[in-house]
Amino acid sequence: MRVGVLTGGGDCPGLNAVIRAVVRKGIEVNNWEVVGFRSGWKGPMTGDSRPLGLDDVEEILTRGGTILGSSRTNPYKEDGGVDQIRATLAEQKIDALIAIGGEDTLGVAKRLTDDGIGVVGVPKTIDNDLGATDYTFGFDTAVHIATESIDRLRTTAESHHRALVVEVMGRHAGWIALHSGLAGGANVILVPERPFSVDQVVEWVESRFERMYAPIIVVAEGALPEGGAELLQSGEKDAFGHVRLGGIGTWLADEIAARTGKESRAVVLGHTQRGGTPTAYDRVLATRFGLNAVDAVADGDFGVMVALRGTDIVRVKLAEATAELKTVPPERYAEAQVFFG
């Protein structure tokens, strides 16, 4: 049996751990041939692939990013894209695909399954916003990176008695902001799920200054001021209809400075949250996902995604996995508000 594997969408730590698990179990247990497709869905469309052997994955467990490369290619937005994938799989004698990605990558996987191509999905996103799984790998590492950055920023903020606004990733879901803000002891946490009042933020900031401490504000890139709109880096949309967000941190820092008269600075963590070595938790979760994805392929159970429920790895339909985003519920945000100001 020949099985293809690809990584799509934004990169994150832990992708290589999945690839390693698929290759190790696929070859050593199932006696498969494993083929890696480069650059997400672009690989099967163009036939850009490489064989993956045991030596290819020997040293990649701790490596961030993905040895296969990634892209935001959508074959359903390309003329003849799905037919090109069919032709590639037939030409290279690929019996099934394992697609590692988030909402967009797995949305394509679901449609391909509906169109008769055997695909098994593995959930990846630093945003932790796939509703069918308790956690996605990449999230834990992103939170650790953001938390360490907040810890470092706190010391310089206190030294200069200034407010620091830390902008983290999170387009529609504020899980990174919530978890890193709580872990880093932030005084304000702003998430996309709840439009915020600038007046209230300023009140919390001034309360912190009154107690002779420097306020730390953590804001997700998709957070919205009441009555405001998303701040865009670019209005250009990608193949899945997404625009590039960014700038809310700088805008908020300027508002705080103007309203309080206190020095305020913004720090955008950006892609530092995606890079580097995965945490132990993400390495283990990614490895378990990869092993169980191999089992799903071996069982011929296509159109599913492996998911974490409690401590167990289960299979859920791709339709369920991509049905809706998992966002921060009001009660979770209310818990965090105890520490604001």
Mapping DSSP to helix (H, G, I), strand (E, B) and coil, where does residue 160 land? helix
103 labelled binding-site residue:
yes
* Total number of residues shown for the chain: 341
Alpha helices (H) in the chain, listed in sequence order = 15-28, 42-46, 81-91, 103-114, 139-160, 175-183, 198-210, 248-260, 280-298, 318-321, 330-337
Annotated active-site residue in 11, 104, 127, 129: 127
How far, in Å, CA of 148 to CA of 223, rounded?
A: 22
**With 0-12 CB in 10 A as exposed, 13-18 as middle and 19+ as buried, what is 295?**
middle
341 labelled binding-site residue:
no
309 labelled binding-site residue:
no
Which amino acid is present at 58? Answer: E
127 labelled binding-site residue:
yes
**Residues 152, 174, 289: CA angle, nearest 5 degrees:** 95
271 labelled binding-site residue:
yes
169 labelled binding-site residue:
yes
136 labelled binding-site residue:
no
1 labelled binding-site residue:
no
How far, in Å, CA of 317 to CA of 310, rounded?
A: 18
121 labelled binding-site residue:
no
Q: Confirm whether 115 is a catalytic residue.
A: no
265 labelled binding-site residue:
yes
Which residues carry a binding-site annotation for diphosphate? 10
Please give the annotated binding residues, written as ranges.
10, 103, 125-127, 162, 169-171, 221, 265, 271-274
- Supply the residues annotated as catalytic: 127
Q: Which residues are annotated as a binding site for substrate?
A: 125-127, 162, 169-171, 221, 265, 271-274
Residues forming the annotated binding site for Mg(2+)? 103
